[in-house]
Amino acid sequence: MLDDFFIRALLAGIGIALITGPLGCFVIWRRLSFFAGTLAHSAFLGVTMAVIFEISIAFSVFIISSVIAIMLLKLQKGTKLPSDALLGLLAHSSLAVGLVVVGFLTSIRFDIMGLLFGDILAVNQIDLLFIWIGGALILLILKLIWKPLFASTVNHELAEAEGMKPDTMNAIFTILMAAIIAISIKIVGLLLITGMLIIPAAAARNISNNPQQMIMLSILGGLMSVLIGLFSSLEFNTASGPSIITAALILFCLTLINFRKYSDLKK
């Protein structure tokens, strides 16, 4: 039963998995999963802004996420609070402000559940365009800056000493994070984007021994999660985001089993 909306959802999901695969690896390597979560939470505020100003959701989310990222940097330099406290502060206050603003928008019907957990029905042609053009752009940038970005992920000082410009790479990477959250919010939902970023990458880590391999396996895991998740979402009438993440979790558990067997073999 492949309706139009379902093909659109599949195309959207595949596009997102292709981007979250490599980005998710960097999120794990750089220990940024809480940061990704904060950006995703702030996306709620971005969506309400999009409704108020009648602009594209993806564009608005991208702007708000970037602003939150910049605010985090300023707060890290300007206060003595630890990063995790600042991340929590930004995540929950932006979510709260977003919800308060939604309260004032009584005239507009607002699908909060779809926003939080993803809604395959909501994916339209423009979203697809955003995902595939934006995704291609993100992957292209990632490919271009792979060496310096990876070098600064491995060791900041070494990268700085040998001309890899780690500070610039960090800034570009933050922008890419904001972008992926903006374009994947409709399909995965803002509460689960972090899961889409880190679970396939975490599964890939269990079964890989070099960075390229981990990225490939992470993409593969993401694609499988999307396919399994979306088909079961259609079958069991569950929200698309949770279905995809649950599929990813099952894959993660499978890699754990394989991993154990492999280490038994070595004994």
Partner 1 sequence: MSKAKNKVLLKVENVGLLKSDKWLVRGVSLEVKQGEIVTLIGPNGSGKSTTAKIALGIHKKIDGKVQKFTDKIGYVPQKISIDWTLPIRVIDFMLLTEKLTNDQINVALNLTGVDHLKNKSLSNLSGGEFQRVLIARAIAKKPDLLVLDEPVQGVDFKGEIALYELIKKISEELSCGILLISHDLHVVMSATDFVVCLNGHVCCSGTPQAVAKNDQYQELFGDRASKILSLYEHKHDHTHAQDGTIKRKNN
Based on the shown chain and the rule CB under 8 A, indicate whether residue 164 belongs to the binding site for partner 1: yes
CB of 29 to partner 1, least distance (A): 5
Candidate segments 37-45, 70-78, 119-127, 204-212, binder of partner 1 by CB under 8 A: 204-212
Residues that contact partner 1, how many (by CB under 8 A): 26
The span from the CA of 187 to the CA of 106, in Å, is 25
Question: Based on CB atoms, which residue is closest to partner 1, 159 or 191?
Answer: 159
Q: What is the dihedral of CA 178, 179, 185, 187, to 10 degrees?
A: -140
Question: Based on CB atoms, which residue is closest to partner 1, 99 or 161?
Answer: 161
Q: Is the dihedral of CA 84, 85, 90, 95 positive or negative?
A: positive
Select the residue interacting with partner 1 from 2, 80, 163, 263 (CB under 8 A): 163
CB of 6 to partner 1, least distance (A): 36
CB of 28 to partner 1, least distance (A): 7
Candidate segments 50-58, 106-114, 144-152, 220-228, binder of partner 1 by CB under 8 A: 144-152
Do residues 49 and 246 make contact, with C-beta atoms less than 8 angstroms apart? no
CB of 191 to partner 1, least distance (A): 25
CB of 56 to partner 1, least distance (A): 36
The span from the CA of 204 to the CA of 248, in Å, is 11
Select the residue interacting with partner 1 from 81, 96, 161, 253 (CB under 8 A): 161
**C-alpha distances in angstroms, 180 versus 57, 126, 194?**
13, 16, 11
* Residue whose C-alpha is closest to residue 65's, from 191, 194, 174: 174
Do residues 189 and 229 make contact, with C-beta atoms less than 8 angstroms apart? no
Based on the shown chain and the rule CB under 8 A, indicate whether residue 263 belongs to the binding site for partner 1: no
CB of 170 to partner 1, least distance (A): 14
Do residues 166 and 160 make contact, with C-beta atoms less than 8 angstroms apart? yes
Select the residue interacting with partner 1 from 37, 205, 233, 244 (CB under 8 A): 205
Based on the shown chain and the rule CB under 8 A, indicate whether residue 150 belongs to the binding site for partner 1: yes
Continuous H helices in 118-239: 125-144, 146-154, 156-161, 166-188, 193-206, 211-236
Select the residue interacting with partner 1 from 19, 57, 159, 239 (CB under 8 A): 159
HSE-CB of 94 using CA atoms within 13 angstroms: 29
Q: What is the dihedral of CA 157, 66, 32, 254, to 10 degrees?
A: -130
Based on the shown chain and the rule CB under 8 A, indicate whether residue 210 belongs to the binding site for partner 1: yes
In the region spanning residues 12 to 31, those forming contacts with partner 1, defined by CB under 8 A, are 28-29, 31
Residues of the shown chain interacting with partner 1 in the complex, contacts defined by CB under 8 A: 28-29, 31, 147-148, 150-151, 153-155, 157-164, 205, 208-214
